[in-house]
Structure 1
Amino acid sequence: MVLGLVQSDLELLIEDTSAVVEIGELPVVYAGQSQLVQLFTNLLNNALKFRCTDIMPRVQVTAYYPDRRNLQVSWTGNPRLCRIDVSDNGIGFDPVFSNRIFQVFQRLHGCSEFEGTGIGLAICEKVATNHGGKISASG
């Protein structure tokens, strides 16, 4: 439901970029819908914004249910832990900046290269934290 709203909101951008957005089977998450819409809108928007110009953009949203015993973070919440991955075939980024990109007003590219304010991923981190979750990125 949340990702359906996000796809609808981003419909023109998806069409304009000829992107393929694949949404796998996702769990029901009991959380603030507006915040989750904001989180996934920011993530999908970034995936489409920072795309390679010579290939068709592809974004995948999938769920993964890790074994809690193998987690690298402490977790005292619901035993039905779920990891949701948003992956794309975009331009990527240097892993050195993987923590910095979640700070407010952080941009890895100049304003003339890509539009934006540098707050989208900071909002995503806040939403994840508000719901007892974590967010990370890899280049």
Structure 2
Amino acid sequence: MKNFIGTYECRIDDKGRLKLPSALVKQMGDFDDGSFVIKRAVFQPCLEVYPMTGWEQLMQKLNSLNRFIKKNADFIRMFTAGVKVVELDNAGRLQISKDLTQFANLKKEIVITSAGELFEIWDKEAYENVIATSEENFAKLAEEVMGNISFEEKEL
């Protein structure tokens, strides 16, 4: 599985075009077909960008949910609301639709940050507010999330 690496500051223009940093464009080239899916994040006011292969794997899991259970159907609808397929244009830009720009409250200054197999697009001020947590709070979160994971080395 490939992962994105890095955090980048950039700008979005009035037409919703986001010029991606060359280091990120290079990483995007490592994915098979160059198509990506952009969607609303579930827990934060930002956008998530998935390589098409990762999106298809995620959709396989969603499609295994029983749609005759109302909460499953409601979740799928909300999770996929506003989803768009995007590709880089010749100038290395992503076109972000107006509805997604409004959802993430994207202004001029943007932060793009890696999140494993996907990357997130944030309004710079919102991103800085989210990561501005104390060391003590982050240490507690790290312990809760990672504390029970075994990091034993796998045999080759």
Same-fold status (TM-score > 0.5): no
> Rg larger in 1 or in 2?
2
- Which structure features the higher share of strand residues? 2
TM-score (norm 2): 0.23
TM-score (norm 1): 0.25
- Indicate the structure whose relative CO is greater, using CA pairs within 8 Å and at least 6 residues apart: 2
